[in-house]
Chain A
């Protein structure tokens, strides 16, 4: 099987896994008997198998691509993004252990399954996008022929995709908070400012394309759907209290896993640039863009430690950090200062096949 076939297989695993995890997750939020609970618990154990299987197929794809282009497959977006999804699957498995999701019971387990479902869904969207990109394999230009090429980009990808997961977790929190504020407004009234902020943010990512729609209105409406189902149960959305109490720790630990890799990616870029051009930091717009993302997380960390910005205040910064990472990774080419960037290796030359097109 070649790279493309293996990516298609990973896409199928992710799509099927997302559907399965979402179904199990929804069942956790519905009323059930003891027997049903035991059955659901067994079914829930299978959920983690999907990111594990997707990791295997995705890594196999990357190995296949290595032999197709004879270099670390991280030059074009057709190669870099799947490298990112592979690190995302790996990160999911690590986070599952770090966050102790396998120990959760009841609705909390449903929340864990929903979390995995969203990651798999995000990966499926991402891979379906990748399969429409230009697949041309290109030789590495001399500047990219370095051992830093593999470590720098892989560290970044792990950091990026882990911090995307942190963004999803934080956003999920606000979405459920919003819907509880709607459905249980008497017991849990929500400040008007927060209400509008969440509602507005659901719309803000729409211009970012397919991923923005999934992240913004997609998760927002899904949380609304699950909340509606949950309201039909005896305890309504009482489970959210437990989540709210642990949400800060949850998102913080995801940050703890991702941030060192983001730092390593940033610093390795400097070390590599020093070897290539004897210029460790050229204020290139891609470098600066990456620095901005890093600063978001640095501010988040310091505000948590010294200014007591735990809980929702910090989670808003995590969401903004995720957007900043997305801009650096995918939208950097639109920034004014990117026109002269040295980091445009991944851009493909889009030359229409004039002689094959209709006149």
Chain B
């Protein structure tokens, strides 16, 4: 019980807590400002900033020394904690509502101010590097979807378009999204869709209709957004300047947002272990303790990660050895930066060698229906922008050409079944028409073999005729012609071409690299670790992570290897698991044992 002489502890309410957090935010901003300038300013100004930094820091120590209980109760207050969560959420909302700068290539500190000054004095001088970089982030190359101006105009266009649209935009009438015109153009599909549905199935027919409508509307929208970018340029620039000053374009790296996470850490720390350790041993508390401890570990790991992480890329060709990698972050002058590999355990340098690499493209079957054109040349039967292509796997069953009167359930005139499929195979012999006759699969374990894919297919036409053919992705193999009669008795001709999809329209199926870690001179005997990396499966060595990140369609020997050094990673991962398992324990496991839930009244 509190004795009569003990002063009553201050109780933090929502209002006082919010005020406290706001003061802390302002304090963090000041501290960050003076701290950074102390480090970067010229010698004369540096002292001024250092003194300002010291006096900004002073109240913090004063509070801890003379009003310890007030500060402690602040962090322990659940109301402050909830307010803090709300502010973290608001910060995150700003982060998604304002286009964010690239953390590796940020807007230069002086860029916005110098551009403003340049405009005010109407200077005729060419722009500095900082000014060009700032403007590029703001406006891009015009209609650039990754620019600040376009992103904000895009958002406002769609937001305001829902509530009044044209009243806000007041754009030239010629830019209106003319639904009548779009519908008129889409009406052109009416003649083609039934034939496509009967020949290729419902999905392709729906896809063409859906993509055409969305595509026409999107293009009309994009024209209006570009016009709005120009029309609202002054307002958007003012907003950009404000967003830069308040760090809204770099929310997640701002001092005020970091402070909120620090308050979260201290709040969770001071609440999780209150009431003595015996309380924490109760089975009903385990979920709570695991979850909150997980958050503490996670935030700690993230802090150490932020302090010491390095991220970059190592560009290698097969056989190359790399001793250093390029950081993603550019120098303030915009130059590439390089770092050597230094082991975590002994600080000794090491190198990485690319032993093998291959990008495995998707294997596709082109289905080209053709007809004789006006000049007796063969041309595509359907005026599709892209002819249908099918991905292939063993057991795949494809059907084509149903009666136009019953395009869903009618009997197909052509059926193709993939009986065997080898991702890599060698054609042993071709017949006189250059169709493969004998095919040998490559050992499935040899991912790095450059052999082409092959498939044995069965073709059934008009319900009876059966043929089996080998198809190969070997460029020497010719497309296979198939002819049959349509359900209405008309002759049909199509070509089947099996190939690796190297069009570049989609990413490869997967890519892998074989790596060796070398110590000392680059010889085979210095290999101390070997491993294979692919997307979702990296190589871990002495604090470093190497993962598959890119390839070059024009250079099959090149592999882009992502490099990450993050000293807080393990702690963060442990924290993740603890939060997930702790939450599941609290909400899904505990109720089964307690037969009631704490939250229910």
Contacts and interface: CB of A to CB of B under 8 A. Distances in A.
B76 to A, nearest CB: 11
Contacts of A310: 601
B536 A143 contact: yes
Interface stretch (B45-53, B227-235, B490-498, B508-516): B508-516
Nearest to A291: B92
B100 interface: yes
Given A263-B579, A352-B211, A336 B155 contact: yes
Contacts of A138: 506
Secondary structure of the B contact surface, majority rule:
helix
Contacts of B41: none
Contacts of B212: 352-353, 356-357
Contacts of A256: 587, 591, 597, 599
A336 B206 contact: no
Interface in A319-359: 334-340, 348-359
Interface residues of B, number: 95
B82 interface: yes
Contacts of A352: 211-213, 215-216, 219
Given A310-B601, A356-B383, A260 B584 contact: yes
B576 A280 contact: yes
Contacts of B393: 70
A269 to B, nearest CB: 10
B203 A136 contact: yes
B580 A267 contact: yes
Contacts of A292: 89, 92-93, 96
A252 interface: yes
Contacts of B519: none
A62 interface: no
B3 interface: no
A43 B482 CA distance: 58
Contacts of A4: 202-203
A278 B562 contact: yes
Interface in B80-116: 81-82, 85-86, 88-89, 92-93, 95-100, 102
B557 interface: no
A218 interface: no
A272 B154 CA distance: 30
Contact of B208 (A291, A305, A356): A356
A297 B407 CA distance: 48
A207 interface: yes
Contacts of B462: none
A298 B216 CA distance: 42
Contacts of B85: 295, 298-299, 302
Given A278-B562, A280-B576, A352-B212, A357 B186 contact: yes
Given A4-B203, A134-B210, A252-B600, A276 B535 contact: yes
B187 interface: yes
Interface string B562-601: 1010100100110011011001101110010000011111
Nearest to A354: B385
Interface string A137-154: 111011101100000000
Contacts of A56: none
Contacts of B192: 356
B145 interface: yes
Contacts of A93: none
Given A274-B573, A306-B78, A139 B362 contact: yes
Interface stretch (A16-24, A171-179, A223-231, A281-289): A281-289
A155 to B, nearest CB: 10
Nearest to A155: B580
Interface string B4-19: 0000000000000000
A253 B597 contact: yes
A353 B599 contact: no
Contacts of B252: 283
12 contacts: A139-B509, A146-B536, A267-B576, A278-B566, A299-B86, A334-B158, A335-B96, A336-B155, A349-B211, A355-B385, A357-B189, A358-B186
Given A136-B204, A145-B536, A358-B188, 19 more contacts: A70-B393, A131-B206, A139-B362, A256-B591, A259-B583, A260-B583, A267-B579, A271-B577, A272-B536, A277-B549, A278-B545, A307-B82, A334-B155, A334-B158, A335-B155, A337-B97, A337-B151, A353-B208, A358-B186
9 closest A-B pairs by beta carbon, nearest first, are A358-B188, A207-B162, A352-B215, A350-B214, A142-B535, A278-B564, A336-B151, A295-B89, A350-B215
